Structure 1
């Protein structure tokens, strides 16, 4: 291994740099809805450069197997790590997804799509209920409030349709035509 050919001083310098980066990855992992320890684990996998088992990660990180498993499962769901098969190994191996652009797109597409679907359903229901109330009331004051609310709901609906198109552009990779890697 190349790292074995380094002096202790060189290894210490590399370790210091890596620790700083891993610490900041951990600090900012909340952007992805993950814990700081999951971020540290991601950093470990990133710098290790080889697939690792939960046992290996736990030994390196001094974390419980339960914590390791939870963090890895969360990162798998977000497509930040990949589970791989290696001939001769009976344990699951995990490696980091190095394409950070794709990780970003996957994360936001997955999260935003759920939010868009949920919010659009609520907005559609709100518009339907508002229309029903508009037809059933004779109160001009009530109608005025309902009409203002309906306009707001229609603006929100327009926004969520735009966001859905953005998600489609992210999923298809078209976003990179607008904002190259």
Structure 2
């Protein structure tokens, strides 16, 4: 069929770019390649179809799909008359971006805020100890200032994530 090679080459170029780009954000190239394949597939796909297209094991496909589902980049769908699980990509790139990054940002915010708050508590207790030298107390006070500043950043980042999830961000940075 005429044009098939050009069509496949055009798709492959984009799939390669997507898989490499997703690698920058902690998603393996094979998972990025799977998402790219599914993106260009017009119908939901079974794990067997994915396996056949990419030449990977069914276990690997299942793990990759689960990873994409956790990132809200792929959904399980139902289709009358088909007994196998079907999966399709979230085609709204804006929503995919929002889901992908807000999941990662929320995890990072939570982990860092928790660590900072625990350290602030430890440092405040350290300041109350009488046998601690003034030098150590001054360093602890400096660390408290730094950590409170870091908390301000994480609270700002949390509000930024809220603006993505509520789509308020599009008021400031319109889609078009």
- Normalised by the length of structure 2, the TM-score is 0.94
More helix, by proportion: 1
Q: Following superposition, which runs of at least 4 residues in structure 1 exceed 3 angstroms of deviation?
A: none
What is the aligned residue count?
Answer: 174
Aligned to 2:3: 10
Aligned to 1:48: 41
- RMSD, aligned CA: 1.2
1:80 aligns with 2:73: yes
List per-residue Cα deviations over 1:63-122 (Å, max 9, x = no partner): 110111111110011011111000111000011111111111111111111111121111
Q: Give 1:94-173 correspondences, 5 Å limit.
A: 94-137=87-130, 139-173=133-167
Residues 22 and 44 in structure 1, CA contact (< 8 A), matched pair in contact too? yes
- Normalised by the length of structure 1, the TM-score is 0.92
1: CA distance, partners of 2:74 / 2:103: 15
Residues 32 and 107 in structure 1, CA contact (< 8 A), matched pair in contact too? no
Unmatched tracts of structure 2, length 5 or more: none
2: CA distance, partners of 1:126 / 1:159: 16
2: CA distance, partners of 1:153 / 1:56: 50
Unmatched tracts of structure 1, length 5 or more: 1-7
Which residue, 59, 70, 87 being the options, matches 1:66? 59
